Homo-oligomer: A and B are copies of this chain.
Amino acid sequence: MRFAAGEAAFRYHGRTDLMLALFDKGTQVAGLFTKSKCPSAPVEWCKARLKRGKARALVVNSGNANAFTGRNGAEAAKHAARLAAQASGAPANEIFLASTGVIGEPLDASKFEGVLDKLAAQASPGGLFAAAKAIMTTDTYPKAAAATAGLGGVEVALAGIAKGAGMIAPDMATMLAFVFTDAPVAAPALQSLLSKSVTASFNAITVDGDTSTSDTLLLFATGAAAKRGAPEILTAKDRRLSSFRQALDGLLLDLAHQVVKDGEGARKFVEVHVTSAVSPSSAKKIAFSIANSPLVKTAIAGEDANWGRVVMAVGKAGEPAERDRLSIWFNGVRVAHKGTRDPAYDEGQVSQLMRAEEIAVRADLGLGKGEAKVWTCDLTKDYVAINGDYRS
């Protein structure tokens, strides 16, 4: 696989805003997309192509999301795919697309002309980091990760890039992530691996609870490692996948954490761990209720160990909870126990702890065995400033 980045000036000037990835014949693909009922044109394009499970190229632009652009948007996606097909010598149906940036502005697809040909000529195996930079919007740093795994005694490689601005949001800030591997894994197996892996990574992070029109996660497997003797894997149940699965889980979690840490205006990285809920899904709902609460997030920004707000967030989740069984910890120190303030609670000690850059909130429900971890960031005045400014 080969990567290149270039300038097409969709919105930004003096920086790269377009990436192209080229894959060998036989490359398999799996994907997950936003659940928004108003998805972008590239999301609709990819969904329609994913069933075939084959990919030859990926084109991503930043600056314009090509979302809420009507028929013009669908045409622009088609035109981009057609140009990428010409540049790569592959069928348009095997071209995958993503766009991130302003919503509702028509995307001028003529800007892809010429540039894609040049990128196809330049593309090289070492171009991944440049690609990670080209897809940034309000991100403050490029996000990339790599891992290796064993597959039938052969080492296979995984690499991934992501962009977020640390949020799940539409305007100049959409979560995109792309993972590439040389492991020979068939599309249905890839899809199954990906769907399971996101539960504890990309589906366990939140910045503001908002959902983009464009969120896209694609996993490409070229199968090149087959030449080195890696076995071809047809189903996700294959036991030889265990090392690969673990590497994929770790890589996605790494990228997801990078996205949260770069949350708009974020100063603290927050882990919310819910234990002893009635079920894992109940635990996750409660964890998100805490992680999405503006009151919990502003308290953490203010370095205030305000466990009363954690109680509130547990209570509003709508999941089974009993006040008199609930205990709460901040960074390992128990502040509330069985429905009342911990007798040993020392405000000075806890205030000290809250100055840390990483804050771990734990809530134990005392009801069952359900457990979940989710990650978020604090809510600062900078979040409001970044998102309250005029688009222009």
Contact = CB atoms under 8 A, between A and B. Distances in A.
Interface stretch (A2-10, A97-105, A147-155): A97-105
B384 A315 contact: no
A37 B320 contact: yes
Bin chain A's interface residue count: 35 or more
Contacts of A322: 37
A186 B284 CA distance: 44
A317 B37 contact: yes
B304 A391 contact: yes
Contacts of A294: 208-210, 294, 379, 383, 387
Interface in A245-266: none
A309 B92 CA distance: 31
A72 B295 CA distance: 26
Interface in A2-39: 34-39
B105 A309 contact: no
Contacts of A213: 311-312, 315
Contact of A339 (B70, B314, B318, B347): B70
Nearest to A340: B70
A323 interface: yes
B308 A170 contact: yes
Given A39-B323, A304-B389, 19 more contacts: A37-B314, A38-B311, A38-B314, A68-B308, A68-B323, A70-B338, A72-B340, A103-B312, A104-B307, A104-B311, A106-B341, A170-B311, A209-B294, A299-B388, A301-B388, A302-B389, A303-B390, A379-B384, A381-B381
12 contacts: A37-B317, A38-B311, A38-B321, A104-B340, A169-B309, A170-B308, A170-B311, A213-B311, A213-B315, A304-B391, A379-B384, A381-B384
